[in-house]
Structure 1
Amino acid sequence: MRRVLGVTASAVLVATALSGCGNPPGTDGDLTDDWRPVAEARQFAPRAGECHVNAEPTAYLTSHQPVDCAKAHLVETFHIGTFTGDLAARPIPPRVGSAAMRSAFTECDAKAKEFVGGDWRDGRLTVQVAPTSPAGWAGGSRWYRCDLFELNPLDDTGDAAVNRAGSLRGALRASTPLRHGCAEAGEWGHLLTVPCTKVHRYEYVGVWMAPNASYEDATKDEGAVHTKCRSVIARYAKVPVDRMLRYRTGSTYRFPSEEAWARGDRGVRCWYWSSGKKLTRSIAGGGTKALPVN
């Protein structure tokens, strides 16, 4: 009798325990179907149209503090490109200034011309490429920033960005102090832009694209560079490129900075030089009357 009673009591206990495991009101007993799905991880990426107070060609999330381009800044991001092919398959991002970055620079070069409304080399401007950080690369990011910045007019061969306010979009579509033009030599030999109706002895005529070589090799033959620039002057003034050209014009030029050369800029800026004669008008399209044999 006791045995039977023991079994019965146990059954009652089991039944009571099971009844205590019922679903609370308003629930269906499924512990997972009401969870929100975890959001897909997204990599950080900058945007075109952002300006920055840090001019270094770096793209770390910790240093990404864009400002309104209407406010003081050093560089402007005008395009975001993407590494593809073998470059994208690398274990680490290409190093700034390395040959592996040249294809990115070529794209930034073309996009910069569209952005400013002409060849950016015709003004006090330069272009740089800022790749994603190593951590971002490891996480799958393959973007690079195309940055543009204004150069100091008192540093013809430098590469330092100067503070400016306002976007550079369309900056060379019209006459602007940024654009190279007629010039006079400053106290330290810097070419300072002046109106062509004012006394001057220099005039910017265009760019000669140097071949790919080391900076040392490219800059050592000054005579060859002057010859190339005289051809640019002849095209600008509309005079023949012949054996008399050297007697019609003097020339001077400015190479890109070593840093810009390493980035991929091969544009040598050429200026006409009057050999000391004071001018008050442009030689553009002036022909042999503007550039007589001397």
Structure 2
Amino acid sequence: MLRRLSRGNGENHMRRVLGVTASAVLVATALSGCGNPPGTDGDLTDDWRPVAEARQFAPRAGECHVNAEPTAYLTSHQPVDCAKAHLVETFHIGTFTGDLAARPIPPRVGSAAMRSAFTECDAKAKEFVGGDWRDGRLTVQVAPTSPAGWAGGSRWYRCDLFELNPLDDTGDAAVNRAGSLRGALRASTPLRHGCAEAGEWGHLLTVPCTKVHRYEYVGVWMAPNASYEDATKDEDAVHTKCRSVIARYAKVPVDRMLRYRTGSTYRFPSEEAWARGDRGVRCWYWSSGKKLTRSIAGGGTKALPVN
């Protein structure tokens, strides 16, 4: 959700709700009066090759999928070439260990028990895309093995990455895309948050910073663990945190005059992403007055004068 606060004392809050091992049973029937055929010893099993041990299904990093389901079932595992249309990309395979691995069933998607797996996926995603994935229209999910796979001994989980819709500020649906996200944030790209202008219905649409705009993405504030309802209810506190992020970005003092230098807009992760473990609140600078044609990055008090 995007919420906006103007500089100074005037406040304008904006909300939008936008294979199988078969057990062979041999029934030996003694046929009276029948001898063994030539060249046989009467034991029908001693010459059989041992049946191979059943192999557990496991996905691989580098696979892309047309199914964005956050639980990985064998029946829905139909990976495609990442150069073709897909919804999610698996960039890492992790393993549940310790007490989590000893559970009789896999951790529930979105539960607190999945947070350690999300933390690992978070770190691996930053390496994979070449920066903080929260700085772009991206999100991360953990996809554990299915209950049947868990019962069979599998303890893996997929770390998946997918692109979000630029016209849905609160949504969590994966966008159909073609091409891997490897290194996607190492250079300037439409996926990366940057300068923006409000489009139809108030959605923030990325534009070049040399074009007229009122908004600029400045970074992320990591919220503490809390319920989604509790985390989102104190808008003034979130704006204060985002103003500090703006100050670091523009290189101005964090003091009592900061609120008179900048307006702010922010977006919380979706409720689904929050449940997965994403605590990153995305912050934007907002000019409630004149429109800009350049970035405020490192601009100091000249870029953000007191008004």
TM-score over 0.5 for the pair: yes
Query: 1:276 Cα deviation (Å)?
Result: 3.0
Distance 1:262 1:2, change over 3 A: closer
Query: 1:37 Cα deviation (Å)?
Result: 1.7
Deviations 1:141-194 (A, max 9, x none): 111111100000001111011100000000000000000000001111111000
Deviations 1:44-67 (A, max 9, x none): 111111111111212111111111
Query: Tell me, which stretches of 5 or more residues in structure 1 are unaligned?
Result: none
Distance 1:281 1:27, change over 3 A: same
Calculate the TM-score normalised by the size of structure 1: 0.90
Q: Which residue of 2 aligns with 1:44?
A: 57
Query: 1:246 Cα deviation (Å)?
Result: 0.6
- 8 Å CA contact retained: 2:196, 2:213: yes
Q: Distance in 1 between matches of 2:277 and 2:120?
A: 11
Higher relative contact order (CA 8 A, sep 6+): 2
Q: Which residue of 1 aligns with 2:208?
A: 195
Q: Which residue of 2 aligns with 1:154?
A: 167
- 8 Å CA contact retained: 2:218, 2:284: yes
Query: Tell me, which stretches of 5 or more residues in structure 2 are unaligned?
Result: 1-13
**32-41 or 125-134: bigger deviation:** 32-41
Q: Distance in 2 between matches of 1:232 and 1:150?
A: 24
Distance 1:277 1:44, change over 3 A: same
SS at match of 1:47: coil
Runs ≥4 in structure 1, deviation > 3 angstroms? 1-34
Deviations 1:236-267 (A, max 9, x none): 00111011111111100000000000000000
User: Alignment length, in residue pairs?
Assistant: 294
Deviations 1:263-282 (A, max 9, x none): 00000000001113110000
Deviations 1:64-97 (A, max 9, x none): 1111110000001111111111111111111111
Query: 1:119 Cα deviation (Å)?
Result: 0.3
Q: Distance in 2 between matches of 1:228 and 1:57?
A: 32
- 8 Å CA contact retained: 2:164, 2:172: yes
Distance 1:239 1:26, change over 3 A: same
Distance 1:268 1:33, change over 3 A: same
Distance 1:67 1:24, change over 3 A: same
Calculate the TM-score normalised by the size of structure 2: 0.87
Larger Cα-atom Rg: 1
Deviations 1:98-142 (A, max 9, x none): 111111111110010000000000000000111111111111111
Query: 1:16 Cα deviation (Å)?
Result: 23
Q: Distance in 2 between matches of 1:46 and 1:10?
A: 26
Query: 1:41 Cα deviation (Å)?
Result: 1.2
Query: 1:15 Cα deviation (Å)?
Result: 26
Query: 1:10 Cα deviation (Å)?
Result: 44
Q: Distance in 2 between matches of 1:17 and 1:53?
A: 55
